[in-house]
Amino acid sequence: MTETYHNYVDGEWVAAETGETFENRNPADRSDVVGEFQQSGVEDAERAVEAAAAASDEWADTPGPERGAILRATSQALEARKDELTETLVREEGKARPEAAGEVQRAIDIFSYYGAKASDIGGTVKSSSSRDTTLYTVNEPVGVAGLITPWNYPIAIPAWKIAPALATGTTVVFKPASAAPNVARKLVECLDEAGLPDGALNFVTGPGRSVGKTFTTHEAVDAVSFTGSSAVGNTVGEQANETGKRVQLEMGGKNPVVVMDSADVDAAVDIAASGAFGVTGQACTATSRAIVHEDVYDEFVSGVVEAAEAIEVGPGLDGADMGPQVNQSELDSTLEYVDVGQSEGATLETGGNAVDVGDGFFVEPAVFSDVEPDMRIAQEEIFGPVLAVLPVSSYEEALDVANGVPYGLSASIVTQDLTEAHDFVAESESGVVKVNEKTTGLELHVPFGGMKDSSSETYREQGDAGLDFYTLSKTVYLNY
């Protein structure tokens, strides 16, 4: 029998006022119903916001070390349930098991990290130009934060938004993506188990047009943090700006790896293939373009085709290397881009076909060669396992091509030339720049965010920067 799961509002698990639910199914096996979740409406979202607002003062007044203890206890609860959470994530989102386990560990580490940071949240003391005066700053919580998260990292991204918010004393209303809400729900269970006060965190499932829009427009919400597509993110930003909210948007990417003639080609192939086909290409930092010097182009294409063809596609729970796309829409979009690439004149070297593995949304990893910079497959975010390989004749051309897209999230260069490496770091129009590493993969204690259409370019996430979004600075002049 399918289990029905509830919203979490003011410390209680409650059904939606709408009386409606939606099914969530395993993308690797459509006959497997993960559960039924609340199809919440505006009234449900408003109730959550009101609970967060009512709890705001008490949570803000809770000492930082006490808040940190709750976050550390959450980390421990997640650790105790790691195997369960990993299987849940694979079952509802489709990742390969090692990828899912790594994501769960990331959430564990994030709560541990911000649990420690909560004790250090404070201000700074400055020297005053006046005698007998102490001049200092105090950091105070922003109030209520509305968090809207995507399906592709359904526990890691909620963790890196929720943990710093709670660490600062900010209360939260949280809407997960409907394609993968169950592992997020279990994260909320762990926070409840850790002793989080009623109302400090509220979890509501349902559509963006009702729940998400309420969170971005309600007068009691002070800040909105969104991760997802650029199209939706721009709408969220407009709605939040109309009501004067603090806004943090992290959106799409068209991330390049530049492979220069001095590169170790085997290493470059590993870097590109891992970045392009890991997590089924369903990452905002996934490698979507390989910009390769003509002297090593043929060797690189041959190597990356071989790497793509060696990937076993199938259910993550069965040990496959690459799982399905999350739903039919995402699969259809990837297949459409494969058709677009061929119609534009690029050469499909391998892959790009739907794979008949049980009842799931599987596709072969695809590699295109002979790609021109203005082709759609070289300009638009695909969000599937498709790598476009573009030839260039110089470093200067490679840099121009790498920067010649609307996005600017993550970029990498593979080279043994220090001048090229340092210049790329300086000139890349990306928020994350890597040398001899894949475009995916992030350290949790340093800032993360994009440029151009990849971000609102307001506040970064993770590390100390992750705390800045949820705090307001007050300057104090104390004349004694």
CA angle at residue 228 from 287 to 343, to 5 degrees? 50
Sheet with 246-250: list strands edge to edge.
12-14, 7-9, 201-203, 171-175, 144-148, 223-227, 246-250
| Active site (annotated) includes residue 87 | no
Q: How far apart are CA 244 and CA 221, in angstroms?
A: 10
**Of 250, 349, 364, 420, which one is the catalytic site residue?**
250
Strand partners, 172: 145, 201
**Residues tagged active-site:** 250
